[in-house]
Copies of this chain bind each other. A is one copy, B any other.
């Protein structure tokens, strides 16, 4: 089984970390390939960057499809609260998973109420929106921010642990959460610390998505093409794929 993980930002170091985290939990026989867009931002902390990342991963998928190089059993979009999953679902038939939703699904299976600990306060609303649109908000006790930006967490994951654990403790004590979801791809190493200190399951979105992708592929399921996720009409586009027009190598 081959899983393609799309890191929506352009940070190579974070892409590598995500790949490592994914391989840690992948089953034997699951091959992990991680890629990032050929244009965009090194970190995603705004709606503008989120849209740019969505087009970046669409562009990457389109270029791979055009080159006949798309050969994966499922795709994971590794942005916590970022846009783009539905576009990839339209373009592909294999399952496409979003790490925020994957974490929420796993959290539902383990407890009664989950909280998400994200980076900056400005990332709270997009995560709330993602969960609302995905129909996964009813058991969300809270979305909280540890106050560190994506790049800061990426640069110093170890140093971010204390801030994240502290915020998770508040989610458990004040909001009634009995499961914690880590709201950022770069937070992967923190789950152990949370469970050790707070005694609650902690869910990393990338790990959750790898496990769920394996589950869907194992079931032989593919994305429904009977509704809005069917391929769109063939409206003319100019300069598309953008990376090709920009002369960027795949």
Cβ-defined contact, A235 with B44, below 8 A: yes
Q: A52-B240, A242-B242 are in contact. Are A235 and B97 (CB under 8 A)?
A: no
Cβ-defined contact, B226 with A198, below 8 A: yes
Does A186 make an interface contact (CB < 8 A)? no
Tell me the bound Cα distance from A110 to B95 in angstroms. Answer: 7
Min distance, Cβ A201 to any Cβ of chain B, angstroms: 5
Number of interface residues of A (CB under 8 A): 98
B-facing mask of A125-162, CB < 8 A → 1, else 0? 11001001111111100000000011100000000000
The closest CB in chain B to the CB of A56 belongs to B55
Min distance, Cβ A172 to any Cβ of chain B, angstroms: 6
Does A16 make an interface contact (CB < 8 A)? no
Min distance, Cβ A233 to any Cβ of chain B, angstroms: 5
Cβ-defined contact, B55 with A52, below 8 A: yes
Tell me the bound Cα distance from A29 to B95 in angstroms. Answer: 24
